[in-house]
Structure 1
Amino acid sequence: MDALREAVDEVAARTGFSGVVRVDVAGDTEICSAYGFADRALEIPNTVETQFGTASGTKGLTALVVMALVERGTLELSTTARSLLGRDLPLIAGDVTVEHLLAHRSGIGDYLDEDALDDITAYVMPVPVHRLATAEQYLAVLDGFPSVFPAGERFAYNNGGYVVLALLAERASGVGYHELVRTLVCEPAGMVDTAFLRSDELPGRAARGYLAVDGLRTNVLHLPVLGVGDGGIYTTASDLHAFWEALFAGRIVGADTVREMVRPRSDLPEESKRYGLGFHLHATGDEVWLEGYDAGVSFASSHTPSTATTVTVMSNWSDGAWPVVKLLGERVS
């Protein structure tokens, strides 16, 4: 792996990568390296124990919360959103189910339509970001978006759908979303350094998210102050390794549920992948991954059960991760 490590070092130096790279193969950690600064102003370096934002990587944990509630009988895949929303979000069609939302096949309008964004660092929140810290508070930004196609018709990646799932999980269980993630996912997985952190009071071990390859401007005004459902959790490379091991060992949800979640619901040949319930899937193989991209955050973590290979790249600037992700995609199977 010396040649691969040298290649990662070269790409990191050439592209201004800031973050952590970890590669594990068959139980051995082949690469675990940190680059750049967690705090540029104070020149505090990233370490392999730094906590990074994951943006949409959070969706996989939300999906696991929902599926854990399905296992407990609190929800069903066939549960309609309307049955729990009552009068809230009236533009969500009556036949939209939990399964539709998990699979990005709901057809509901999206409060954050990434296809309409020319610049990931654009200001997109219609309310002050400090007002977005709980699932119920997100009702203010989720409302008013008409359906774009009938439920189940096709795949369309949808951020708002995962915030709706967080809201449904809360209402069905009577427990707050952040607490559900902690108790149903993080604790059974042994993810001791994973948590939802407020962007305006990050602890010392958390990396600030920067908009560009250089400069001091962070993402604190661009993202909700506390993520719910579709993004916002912070974690470490070590915790992600623990996550994949726990997931495929059946310690978060049962083995049958895991198989259901990684069963393809949509084939996306234009992106050379498929999609299950909360997880991206390789077009033909058994690789499963989470990824996230937002102002100040770029992240990907994958696991291939057949080769026991886990690859994680976490960066604290908007486009930092992608050159390293591309390299490892070409070099690590």
Structure 2
Amino acid sequence: MRIIGAIACLCLTAACAESEPARSSTAPSSRVCPTLTVSLDADLRAHIDPILEAKAEEGFAGQVAVLDGDQIIYLGAAGHADLASEIPVTHETHFQVSSITKYLTAVLILKASEEGLIDLGDPAGTSIGDVEAIPQTYAQILAHTAGYASSYIAENYDDNALALSGILDANPEAASRAGEFRYSNDGYDLLGILVERIYRTSYEGAAQLEVLDPACVDAGFWGQVDHSDPTAFARALIEPPPALLRRNYGMLGASGLLISAQGLLQLQHAIESEAVLGATHGELIEPRAELSIGRATYGGFLVERPGLGRALSLRGYMDWGDNAYLMDYLECDLTLAIVTSRGPREDSGKSPFRDQLLEPIEAELAPFCESPA
């Protein structure tokens, strides 16, 4: 097991290269890549490295990264990206971050609103020319209050129109339940489908042009890579169902982002610095519904954390082992990313590694917070 450090300045990297856009972006040409400096804190490494080492002995394989302002103060990578324990996880290894993808989809919809392509208060059916089919607003779908459930029906389709019909057919009572909070993969799968209609390109292409390129984030998507190749992204503890390995609309807008921990930090930093969104970026942390864990937001949750105050909590978990956190501590100017592909298994009786790591790492971060809530 290795805990890997780094000393460099970075603009996270491959996505910064110019590419031929599928649709002309209205992003101001004056925007530049928001650069993060790596300045590792020795005391933090001395305390967090042993935590990762202990979890690696239990099977953890993943990354942890911490951002303080615009400085990365901790980077840790442990375990192996392959199942044969031959290829170590590095800081560049990508992981499936599952439902954190919903946050990216929310950013895309807000970007479309800023560009005048949609109005968040309009029926989402305007994107397909059929308001009766989707009378709920974009804002309702973003907030999980559009009445959609989680049938995962879109996993069966690699065709946009068929996936759209499948979701609508699987949710005949959605419009009548609008206003009620129902955490919904179907809703965000639907938004991923609508992103393609709005931007007139693939979901992946829109995400690259509108978000990842302006943020200078190196990332990929489910269906773009060889799932058996641990150099593409870390192998999961359990092989996903074979039918899901292809590109499909249940693994795009809701759960298909492949990215590193420091890539997540770069993405959130770019969003907060308005390199991706303008005035609407504050919409991402507005509370939308009261829940037992806190308040729902567009693509995440607002929670209170001991010693660190209010946090935007983005989280992902898949049955086959991938799980992740992106925690943005709003009063402390700290951001924490935890990613892993190794569960543990649901039948182990243990909580996901993201949860096992969160509290001890937060305890080490609390002294960096000058004014917790």
- Pairwise TM-score range, normalised by the shorter structure: 0.7 to 0.9
- Quote the Cα distance in structure 2 between the aligned partners of 1:220 and 1:314: 21
Percent of aligned pairs with the same amino acid: 25
For residue 148 of structure 1, report the CA deviation from its aligned partner: 5.6
- Quote the Cα distance in structure 2 between the aligned partners of 1:57 and 1:330: 23
- Quote the Cα distance in structure 2 between the aligned partners of 1:224 and 1:189: 28
- Quote the Cα distance in structure 1 between the aligned partners of 2:132 and 2:235: 31
Match of 2:277 in 1: 253
Match of 2:231 in 1: 205
Q: Which runs of 5+ in 2 are unaligned?
A: 1-43, 344-351, 367-373
Matches within 5 A, 1:212-251: 217-221=238-242, 223=244, 225-226=246-247, 227-251=251-275
Q: Cα gap change, 1:137/1:182 in structure 2, threshold over 3 Å: closer, same or farther?
A: farther
SS at match of 2:81: strand
Matches within 5 A, 1:27-106: 27-41=70-84, 43-85=86-128, 90=133, 94=135, 96-106=136-146
CA deviations 1:52-80 (Å, max 9, x no partner) are: 11111111111111110001111111221
Match of 1:332 in 2: 365
For residue 44 of structure 1, report the CA deviation from its aligned partner: 1.3
Which of 183, 187, 200 lines up with 1:157 in the alignment?
A: 183
Q: Is 1:173 matched up with 2:199?
A: yes
How many residues align structurally?
306
Greater relative contact order (Cα 8 A, min sep 6): structure 1 or 2?
1
- Quote the Cα distance in structure 1 between the aligned partners of 2:296 and 2:90: 32
Matches within 5 A, 1:180-195: 180-191=206-217, 193-195=218-220
What letter matches 2:150 in structure 1?
A: D
Indicate conservation of the 8 Å contact 1:21/1:33, yes or no.
yes
Which of 274, 278, 283 lines up with 2:295 in the alignment?
A: 274
What letter matches 1:230 in structure 2?
A: A
TM-score, normalised by the number of residues in structure 1: 0.82
Q: Which runs of 5+ in 1 are unaligned?
A: 113-125, 212-216
- Quote the Cα distance in structure 1 between the aligned partners of 2:273 and 2:289: 25
Indicate conservation of the 8 Å contact 2:63/2:91, yes or no.
yes
SS at match of 2:76: strand
- Quote the Cα distance in structure 2 between the aligned partners of 1:148 and 1:297: 29
- Quote the Cα distance in structure 2 between the aligned partners of 1:266 and 1:35: 37
Q: Cα gap change, 1:6/1:283 in structure 2, threshold over 3 Å: closer, same or farther?
A: closer
Over the residues paired in the alignment, what is the CA RMSD in angstroms? 2.7
- Quote the Cα distance in structure 2 between the aligned partners of 1:55 and 1:283: 23
Indicate conservation of the 8 Å contact 2:56/2:79, yes or no.
no
TM-score, normalised by the number of residues in structure 2: 0.73
Match of 1:9 in 2: 52
Indicate conservation of the 8 Å contact 1:279/1:288, yes or no.
yes
Greater CA drift, 286-295 or 138-147: 138-147
What letter matches 2:289 in structure 1?
A: S
